[in-house]
Structure 1
Amino acid sequence: MGNMKRLFYIAAFLLMAIFQASAQNVIRVEAPDVVAVNEQFNVTFIIEGEKSPSDFQWSEGDDFQLVWGPQKGSSSSIQIINGKKSSSHQTTFTYILIPKSTGTFQIPAATATLSGNRISSNQATIQVVSDGASSSQSSGQNSGGKSSGGQASTSGSGDISSDNLFMRLSLSRSEVVVGEPITATLKIYQRANIVGFENAKLPTFNGFWSQETYVPDNIEFKRESLDDKIYNTAVLRTYVLIPQKSGVITIDPSELVCVINVKVNNSTSGSLFDQFFQDDYRQIRKRVTTPAVKVKVNPLPAGQPASFGGGVGNFGISARLTTDNLKTHDAASLIITVSGRGNVALLEEPKVNFPPDFEVYDTKTTENTDKSTGGTSGSKSFEYPFIPRSHGDFTIDPVEYSYYDVNAGKYVTLRTEPLHIKVAKGKGGDSAPVTSVTSGVERKDVKSLADDIRFIFTGKPNLSGSGSFFVGSAFFWILLALMIVGAVVVYLAFRKVAAMRADVAGTKNRRATKMA
């Protein structure tokens, strides 16, 4: 038995060591997603591990022509954390390729030996398009650090055509029903050298409930193929839209001023040094506008159930109690959660029938949406605080909640399970003992009242006559008159002293008279 345990521990240790080694030794490939048929591009294989790799092998295959490579680079680092030393090593192999034809192709996988293990890379997929523009200028870098392939040339005046710079607002769907969420993406397409933006006018969504789901901190461009041309594209905003009315709703255009560096032909004659060192670039500004977008919104079908809560999509429901065993006048909560995919933000509060002996307070709502789905999936919780005022066994009837299922094209009603609560008698007791009460039984309201409202006082108050107070009596008026007279006397005395001090000559005569 001891040998079996020892063998088990050894096998587990070996498996963990192999897993750790495979997790630390990684080989990956970096390549553009789309290139032009005559465009040279870089493919870089990156191998990371504790040691330097050996026996690296790779072939360009039949779909690409090798122009140059490989260029090998390496770097290493050592870290000491809490006395533990760890090292990492990175090796790169870079090739320059050119595609032979248009289509979608895969970069062949590379293999290498690392720490005694043979590892391989994944196969990157590249789309090759014809790209009518002069793709030979694609070696530059844009502000996002990505290759700016497909950059179009400009005329001597520096004009940028609308085919080389435009903006679009794309929708996930153009025909929906009232309450059905739509994802809107505002994206700019450019084959120029944009250096900045000005005077942005973002879209307004009249007739929709709207919420921004993505706002980039830094605008980064990436290569994308559109109509067999390569553009540098960047997402400026994403929104979730929920139509609030039926009909054809028009989304007004958005506007943006782009600041562009363009190269102009310098026709002026100059020295040889001016031709080499003079900067023949200048900045121009071009306003781009999205076209108006129309959305057809159909009304919801007739025959909505009474329990319809405004949900459109696909949802589920759950209900739970914070506690099902409490005493009279103790607080508890019923929490109902509606989760799924759809217009989560606009879900209405379900109707709950509490027993008559329960004192129910205002509902608290908590929303939790998944931003990775554009805010169209998540959950919404409704918390109903309550306090039982009588003891006994109670039941909260099942809660019904209906929504419209877009895929099925019909209303669906959800139903929770009944919830049972056992309430024991507390210190304050209750108004009337109840052995078993359900939510369908009618009875009188709880008679025991709190002490915040007192009963009216019916006894005789202790009152005093109007002449028995000090204020208003004869002695009060005499004392007030003496205080006024005293204040006047003191004021006149101070004035006389001040006048005597101001009379310098009279003061000298009085002093001379005293000395004589």
Structure 2
Amino acid sequence: MKGLIAKIIFAALCVVAWGPAAGADKVVFEASSPLIVAVGEAFRVEFALNARPDDGSFAPPSFEGFDVLAGPAVSEGSSIQIVNGSMTKSVEYTLTYVLMANSAGNFTVAPAAIAVDGETYRTRSLPIEVVDEGVAPGSAGAAPGSSANGEPQSRNPESEARRRLGKDDILLRAAVSRSTVYKGEPLRVTFKLYRRANVAGFQDYKVPSFNGFWAQQLNTDNAPRQRETYNGKIYETSVAWEYLLYPQQAGTLVIEPAELTAVAQVIVPSNRSADPFFGGGHDVYNVPVKVQSPRVNITVKPLPAGAPAGFSGAVGHFTMETKLPTQRLAANSAATYTVKISGTGNLTFVQAPKLTLPGSFEQYNVKTTESINTSAAGISGYRQFEYPFIARADGSFQIEPVVFSYFDPSRMEYATLRSEPLTLDVAPDAGGGGEAVVMQNRGMSKEEVRLLGEDIRFIKLGNARLRTPQQPFLFSKLYWVLLCGILLLFTAAYATLRRRIRESQNVALVRGRRANKVAVQRFRAARKYMEAHDRHAFYEEMLRALWGYVSDKFNIPVANLTKENVREELHRRGVPSDESQRFTALIAQCDEAQYSPAASVQMGDIYADGVDLISRIESIIKR
């Protein structure tokens, strides 16, 4: 029971909140239809409304040039969404007509009208091109396996797709708001895409550099799509880019072409048989089409002669407001003279007008603030200039008016704006300060302004303690000596490190240097076996020490270790023949004694001979 009551209350709240939720949306009434149709082909025209209309308020167009086969068919739907306690309601109300054209040509579906809450809304007119080809270009009305004129299709499907796409089905045009302007006068260039085929996407954009212009790109995200007739054909148009241009020099300037590649979708009948249930028999191919806008010449006229003395290049229509300081000041006190220039034109290039102050005034850097809006109509807003100054001497002073001149292209003449003259009375400094020393024709920083009034300091009295200024360590002799020493030390360390890295990467060199160390370790192991009277392990370790030494020292693979190779390598390294014979004889004794009875004294003799022999060979090779 409680659940049922809760549902009833929720439904009642939805009904109560439906009115404000539905009324909050903006009413949109639009019409849609195919761009190109064929003679005798049935097609649909839909009128869509996002609200509930008043009963009997729909007024359809006359549909001149078309036969109405059916309609209007009304479909209506609504949905309610509640997200985080916020409810939104959407309504879809659609009226559909089925039409057919009996003759070729360009026809227009007139606007339809409908009323919502007593207010009337109208659609835009819909231009439609009717072609007499048996089937509209790019449509799927042709029979599978045949071309548009009924001939058998024997081409490659991709070639057929390109053939079906006309050369003028996709165009890129550049439209300018005016072709003759004055220097500094804005013009608008719009790059529009004209298409008579479905376009899946775009790639390889290229926008001109606009040489000779100052360019500002405009936002075209909300630019609507429209239908236009060009060269007797109807296109669907959309804005690709739009720029506001300000010519910076007189003469003939050229807007270079813009480029892009449009991926058109073309339907081509296939040789495959149509599915009896789902239909088919047609393929869709993506055909890249590179389009380019034509060059556009702009004639830029120079500004007329006889410009006023205060003209600095401003072009447009402007007004000037001034905020004057109070007419009474005290000496050594600061004030600000403010000039605000508003209007439409090349505000970005407007410079601060000249403010002439008496010689006893300190004038500082001009502060500029601005608020500029860019739209298709041009640049509008304001630039404000603040002139801070300090009156350094008392008296009565006349401040000349601020003069701002600009060229008005609509009237084709110069205009001059003037501020009111100002008489400024400066009273003596209340602090009793005398006449100030003035530095003329010099702008001052903020830090210097802060120190004004403290520029004359009290002379220090008493015994002065003088000391010799110490030379800073930076760039001294000791600095350069230490720097050179650090650089030399770094160079030496770097060279040593690089040499060790190279040597560590040489496996043969590393083995050769470690041969003696490895042999000594094996001799120590052999001595332990000798002291333990383990004859077999002793002689085995002695053979490892001797063979391993020559293998590592001379980089001889284990497979090539023979007595003859060892004698040849020792002889090549400068070892006397008797020493090489002694080395091979010692290896032979170890081989024989490994499996034959021998006393520990003999093991001691062989151990001593091995250590002595390796030491002599190592000393001979290192010479």
Question: Do the structures match in fold with TM over 0.5?
Answer: yes
Q: Deviations over 1:261-295 (max 9, x none)?
A: 3334434x679689956872232322211111111
State which structure, 1 or 2, has the greater radius of gyration over its C-alpha atoms.
2
By how many angstroms is 1:55 displaced?
Answer: 3.2
**Cα–Cα, structure 1 residues 187 and 128, in superposed 2: closer, same or farther, change >3 Å?**
closer
Match of 1:180 in 2: 185
- Post-superposition Cα deviations, 1:36-56, rounded to whole Å, max 9, x if no partner, equal 6876421124435xxxx6633
The secondary structure found in structure 1 opposite 2:358 is coil
Match of 1:126 in 2: 125
- The alpha-carbon deviation at position 307 of structure 1 amounts to 1.1
Distance 1:372 1:261 in 2: 34
* 1:247 shift after superposition: 1.2
Gapped regions of structure 2 (runs ≥ 5): 1-19, 141-157, 437-448, 470-623
CA distance in 1, matches of 2:110, 2:161: 41
Instruction: Pick closer, same or farther for the CA change 1:68–1:400 going to 2, 3 Å.
Output: same
Question: Which one of 168, 172, 186 corresponds to residue 173 of structure 2?
Answer: 168
8 Å CA contact 1:69, 1:95 repeated in 2: yes
Whole-angstrom distance in 2 between the partners of 1:243 and 1:270: 61
Whole-Å separation in 2 of the counterparts to 1:89 and 1:111: 17
Deviations 1:456-476 (A, max 9, x none): 87986325799xxxxxxxxxx
> Does 1:107 find its partner at 2:107?
no
Alpha-carbon distance in 2 for matches of 1:87, 1:194: 33
- Quote how far apart the aligned CAs of 1:126 are: 0.9
Is the 1:345–1:367 Cα contact (8 Å) retained in structure 2? no
| Number of the residue aligned with 2:248 | 244
CA 1:31 to 1:279, structure 2 compared with 1: closer, same or farther past 3 Å? closer
Q: Does 1:207 align with 2:227?
A: no
Distance 1:77 1:461, change over 3 A: same
1:183 and 1:25 mapped to 2: Cα distance? 33
Counterparts in 2 of 1:81 and 1:138: CA distance versus 1, 3 Å: farther
Query: Aligned with 1:110: secondary structure?
Result: strand
- Aligned-partner residue type, residue 182 of structure 2: V
Q: Shift in Å at residue 380 of structure 1?
A: 2.4
- Report the alpha carbon displacement of residue 181 of structure 1 after superposing the two structures with TM: 1.0
- Give the Cα separation in 1 of the matches to 2:467 and 2:120: 102
Provide the secondary structure at the position in 1 that maps to 2:243: strand
- On the 8 A contact 1:213/1:239 being kept in 2, the answer is yes
Local SS of the residue matching 1:451: coil
Q: Is the 8 A contact 1:74 1:91 kept in 2?
A: yes
Compute the displacement of 1:244 (Å): 1.3
1:417 is aligned, of 420, 430, 433, to 420
What's 1:490 paired with?
none
Residue 13 of structure 1 is matched in structure 2 by none
Alpha carbons 1:391, 1:430 under 8 Å: kept: no
**Kept after mapping to 2: 8 A contact 1:325/1:423:** yes
Q: 1:45 to 1:296 in 2, by over 3 A?
A: same
In the alignment, what sits opposite 2:46?
Answer: 42
Please identify, of 408-417 and 223-232, the stretch whose mean Cα deviation from structure 2 is larger. 223-232
Match among 370, 373, 376 for residue 370 of structure 1: 373
TM-score, length of structure 2 as denominator length: 0.55
Q: Distance in 1 between matches of 2:311 and 2:136?
A: 60
Tell me if structure 2 keeps the 8 A contact 1:328–1:429.
no
Which of these residues, 207, 225, 228, is aligned with residue 229 of structure 2?
225
Aligned position for 1:60:
60
Report the CA distance between 1:421 and its aligned residue.
5.2
User: 3-state DSSP class of the match of 1:122?
Assistant: strand
Preserved CA contact (<8 Å) 1:260 1:285: yes
Distance change >3 Å, CA 233–CA 426, structure 1 → 2 = farther
After superposition, the Cα gap between the structure-2 partners of 1:372 and 1:209, relative to the gap in structure 1 and judged at 3 Å, is closer
Secondary structure, counterpart of 2:375 in structure 1: helix
The structure, 1 or 2, with the larger RCO (C-alpha pairs under 8 Å, 6+ apart) is: 1
8 Å Cα contact 2:275-2:281 kept in structure 1: no
The superposition leaves residues 126-170 of structure 1 with CA deviations (integer Å, 9 ceiling, x where unpaired) of 153545598968999xxxxxxxxxxxxx97142543311121222
Note the alpha carbon deviations across 1:205-236, whole angstroms, 9 max, x for none.
111111212254x9975443333433232222
The one-character-per-residue Cα deviations of 1:301-353 (angstroms, maximum 9, x if unpaired) are 11111011212222222111476676555544322222222222222221111
Q: Is 1:92 aligned to 2:124, yes or no? A: no
Aligned-residue RMSD, C-alpha = 4.5
Separation of aligned partners in 1, 2:278 and 2:26: 49
Is 1:256 paired with 2:260?
A: yes
TM-superposed deviation, 1:59: 3.9
> 1:312 touches 1:403 (CA, 8 Å); kept in 2?
yes
Whose helix proportion is higher, 1 or 2?
2
Identical residues among aligned pairs (%) = 32
Q: Which has the higher strand share?
A: 1
Partner SS, residue 305 of structure 1: coil
Count residues in correspondence: 409
Deviations 1:370-418 (A, max 9, x none): 3333543332222223333345665532211111121222211112223
What amino acid maps onto 1:343 in structure 2? N
Structure 1 residues 381 and 464, CA gap change in structure 2 (3 angstroms): closer
2:366, 2:33 → 1: CA distance?
50
Structure 1: tracts of 5 or more residues without a match: 1-19, 141-153, 434-445, 467-516
CA distance in 1, matches of 2:375, 2:218: 9
State the partner residue of 2:31. Answer: 31
Question: Contact 1:309/1:349 (CA < 8 Å) preserved in 2?
Answer: no
Counterpart of 2:166, as a letter, is S
Amino acid at match of 2:47: V
Contact kept? 2:255, 2:295, Cα under 8 Å: yes
**Cα distance change on mapping 1:55 and 1:207 into 2, 3 Å:** closer
Q: CA deviation at 1:203?
A: 0.8
Moved more, 295-304 or 157-166: 157-166
Q: Which residue among 370, 380, 383 is the counterpart of 1:380?
A: 383
1:345 and 2:348 equivalent? yes
Structure 2 counterpart of 1:291 = 294
Which of 174, 197, 205 is 1:192 aligned to? 197
